[in-house]
């Protein structure tokens, strides 16, 4: 069973918020068939810790603006700012420093999962 509509809506809002803060290499993976604990992963990266933190803050703010407000049930890695994980239950957001993104390669680890298409709205305008 693919990711729920709510999960897709949340993932796209998180991805757009990340893009608005100049996140790099944004990917949304539908992990619903592989995991029972969440429907989608949002992966994004940034070149420095300060930008990782700004992206995380923007994602949290954006998901609070949805009609069905979403707050993370868990936030990890904030102190170091190298890899922050936001667990919203329906989706899990990973914002990583570029070095961590390359080293841990979550994209390759979950390569068998389908991608949910994301197009940065700023590129359309």
Cα Rg, the chain, nearest whole Å: 13
Contacts of 81 (CB under 8 A, 6+ apart): 49, 50, 52, 53, 97
pLDDT at position 119 is 93
Question: What CATH number matches the domain at 5-118, 3.40.50.1470, 3.30.70.20, 1.10.3210.10, 3.30.460.10?
Answer: 3.30.460.10
H/E element holding 74? strand 74-76
Where do the domains of the chain lie? 5-118
Report residue 116's pLDDT band, with 50, 70 and 90 as the boundaries.
very high
CB atoms inside a 10 Å sphere around CB 33: 13
**pLDDT-based confidence at residue 16 (cuts at 50, 70, 90):** very high
pTM: predicted TM-score of the whole model, two decimal places: 0.94
Q: pLDDT value at position 125? A: 64
Q: To which H or E segment does residue 26 belong?
A: strand 24-30
- Tens digits of residue pLDDT in 59-108: 999 999 999 999 999 999 977 889 999 999 999 999 999 999 999 999 99
């Amino acid at each position: 069973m693919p990711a729920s509509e709510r999960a897709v809506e949340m993932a796209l809002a998180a991805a757009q918020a990340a893009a608005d803060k100049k996140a790099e290499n944004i990917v949304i993976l539908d992990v619903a068939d592989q995991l029972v604990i969440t429907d989608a992963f949002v992966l994004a990266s940034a070149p420095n810790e300060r930008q990782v933190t700004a992206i995380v803050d923007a994602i949290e703010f954006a998901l609070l603006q949805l009609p069905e407000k979403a707050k993370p049930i868990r936030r990890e890695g904030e102190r170091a700012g190298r890899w922050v994980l936001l667990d919203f239950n329906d989706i899990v957001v990973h914002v990583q420093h570029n070095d961590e993104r390359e080293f841990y390669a979550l994209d390759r680890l979950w390569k068998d999962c389908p991608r949910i298409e994301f197009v940065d709205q700023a590129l359309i305008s």
